[in-house]
Chain A
Amino acid sequence: TQLLEQSPQFLSIQEGENLTVYCNSSSVFSSLQWYRQEPGEGPVLLVTVVTGGEVKKLKRLTFQFGDARKDSSLHITAAQPGDTGLYLCAGNSNSGYALNFGKGTSLLVTP
């Protein structure tokens, strides 16, 4: 099982601040995905990155896949209360049938 380490575990910031969360592994992944989960609901896919060094933008969210495809980061610009949630990264090895998830970063954005 490929281990995905996410940091920080918890993050509490004020509206308007910028933040970056990280997802790291010693394993190489064919792709990495980021999900956001709100309390009492299932995770929802935000983005999939597949190419080493790839950068994808989703409005105020910027996702980057490491050159070696072992790590990824999520940067949020000018955070809003609606960004509050649990951010999970998940990776799929070349031979795996199922995604392995990190433990997540719990983000709280206060007005």
Chain B
Amino acid sequence: SQTIHQWPATLVQPVGSPLSLECTVEGTSNPNLYWYRQAAGRGLQLLFYSVGIGQISSEVPQNLSASRPQDRQFILSSKKLLLSDSGFYLCAWSVHNEKLFFGSGTQLSVL
């Protein structure tokens, strides 16, 4: 069966510090991978998606970036965090643009 791992679960970072969130998927090949951000229990904002290794599409311009160094690994990064980067970050995967399977999320607080 397929599983998705996302870590860390919570993170507190000072403004201006770097960020690296990692997500890995097991049990499937060549999945579509996604990073979403959710503010205060509300709707999900799509940040990045990837249909293959090294292929990243950005939906919202910001100081975040994403990389897919391996088929089932998706990384969200920032060189310098802003206060507005605080939120709940969710990684997800899908096959053929159908239903999404989400990780358990990372609650990021930038102070």
Contact = CB atoms under 8 A, between A and B. Distances in A.
Contacts of B27: none
Given A35-B100, A97-B32, 16 more contacts: A40-B107, A41-B104, A42-B105, A48-B98, A86-B42, A90-B100, A96-B97, A97-B51, A98-B32, A98-B34, A99-B46, A99-B97, A101-B36, A101-B44, A102-B43, A106-B41
Contacts of B34: 98
Contact of B43 (A44, A48, A97, A103): A103
Contacts of B32: 97-98
Contacts of A104: 41-43
A43 interface: yes
Given A98-B34, A100-B46, A42 B97 contact: no
Contacts of B107: 40
Contacts of B45: 101
A89 B46 CA distance: 14
Nearest to B46: A98
B7 interface: no
A16 B98 CA distance: 33
Nearest to A42: B102
B25 to A, nearest CB: 13
A45 B103 CA distance: 12
B6 to A, nearest CB: 8
Interface in A36-83: 39-45, 48
A7 interface: no
A33 interface: yes
Interface string B82-111: 000000001010000111111111010000
A41 B49 contact: no
Interface string B57-77: 101000000000000000000
